Structure 1
Amino acid sequence: MAKSIMHRKEDRTCYLCMLLRDDYNAREDLQEHHAMPGTANRRLSERYGLKVYLCIEHHLVGPDAVHSNIRLRRLLQANAQMAFERKHSHEEWMEAFGRNFI
């Protein structure tokens, strides 16, 4: 398993709590979320470290859960692309994922 290039697991923070609420409190209920959905893209997310750690509310339950909120899912995908392109080229992103989210 590759280490995330988007978020430090050791911080025990929820990526979206920090981003949306400026809440940097440590959480016990974190779950790993791969930023790029689908079987093939999940493997690529793992390979390139395109994953974040989310509280239950932002991962699975409620209106701000990325599995049910397209706006937040697209935000994570755009952030994943930006993180990827800091290490690789835009062309490599397009070759791997085939879609621009920025």
Structure 2
Amino acid sequence: MKDSIVIDMKYAGYDMIDGTPNVHRHHIFEGTANRRLSDEDGLWVPLSYEHHEGNMSVHRNKEMSALMHIIGQLAWEKHYIVEHEDVSEDDARDAFRKRYGKSYL
């Protein structure tokens, strides 16, 4: 799995929401194909059990899931712009849509 492009790797051992240790790596985009793409693109975040699988978790709370999708897409677009010269935000958004099938913004 590629290093996360969402967080600084020195914080990868801590929940991105409240900083607690002992985390799970959450793939931001789910489903077999999108999970593979998330691995390739570094689209994962560290989450505690409570934020990953608990009652207020990304898997049980649609607002939390939507927030992760927005964060992931913005990180991917920023990374895409940095890696490609002369690419606009609109170009990056189009590239994200082609890769992941839709925009979450």
TM range (shorter): 0.7 to 0.9
Higher RCO by CA contacts (8 Å cutoff, separation 6 or greater): 1
Q: Which residue matches 2:7? A: 7
Change (3 A) 1:9 1:61: farther
Deviation of 1:80 (Å): 0.3
Q: Which of 65, 71, 74 is equivalent to 1:73?
A: 65
Identical amino acids, percent of aligned pairs: 30
Q: Which runs of 4+ in 1 moved over 2 A?
A: none
Q: Which of 56, 63, 67 is equivalent to 2:49?
A: 56
SS at match of 1:33: strand
Q: Any conservation in 2 of the 1:35–1:52 contact (CA below 8 Å)?
A: yes
SS at match of 1:16: coil
Q: Which of 20, 25, 30 is equivalent to 1:32?
A: 25
Give the alignment's TM-score, normalised by structure 2: 0.82
Q: Which runs of 5+ in 2 are unaligned?
A: 81-91
Q: Any conservation in 2 of the 1:57–1:65 contact (CA below 8 Å)?
A: yes
> How far apart, in 2, do the equivalents of 1:15 and 1:34 lie?
13
> How far apart, in 2, do the equivalents of 1:33 and 1:76 lie?
10
Q: Which residue matches 1:20? A: none
Q: Which runs of 5+ in 1 are unaligned?
A: 18-23
Q: Any conservation in 2 of the 1:66–1:73 contact (CA below 8 Å)?
A: yes
Q: Which residue matches 2:79? A: 87
- The residue type paired with residue 30 of structure 2 is P
